[in-house]
Amino acid sequence: MTKIASILAAAAAFLSGAPALADNVSPDRVRALVERGEILPLEEILKRSEANAGGRIIEIELEAKGASYVYEIKVLRPDGRYRELKIDARTGALLGRD
């Protein structure tokens, strides 16, 4: 399985068992935003951020930040430390890494 397929499979498994993408944005709201083209679907975000992940994705949230939305992706790195990626949900641009 390719690296992107592994990430997508992990994300799908995570999303199917949790009320995910819902820190303060409901799943119905997420679906509506994606359908209207206001944010990119999670699959597209994961494809674009694969190079930045550098580990196993363990948590994904979508948060409203003022008038915009940010995907926060928590990654467990091979060295056991965590990294959080902040991705602009509309453009897919990397906003920061912690």
The 10s digit of each residue's pLDDT in 24-80 is 688 899 999 999 999 999 999 988 877 777 888 899 999 998 889 999 999 999 999
pLDDT attached to residue 7: 53
For the chain, domains (ranges, CATH) are 3-97 (3.10.450.40)
Q: Could you write out the DSSP letters of every residue in the chain?
A: --HHHHHHHHHHHHHHTS--S-SSS-HHHHHHHHHTTSS--HHHHHHHHHHHH-SEEEEEEEEEETTEEEEEEEEE-TTS-EEEEEEETTT--EEEE-
pLDDT attached to residue 13: 47
Q: Which pTM does this prediction carry?
A: 0.71
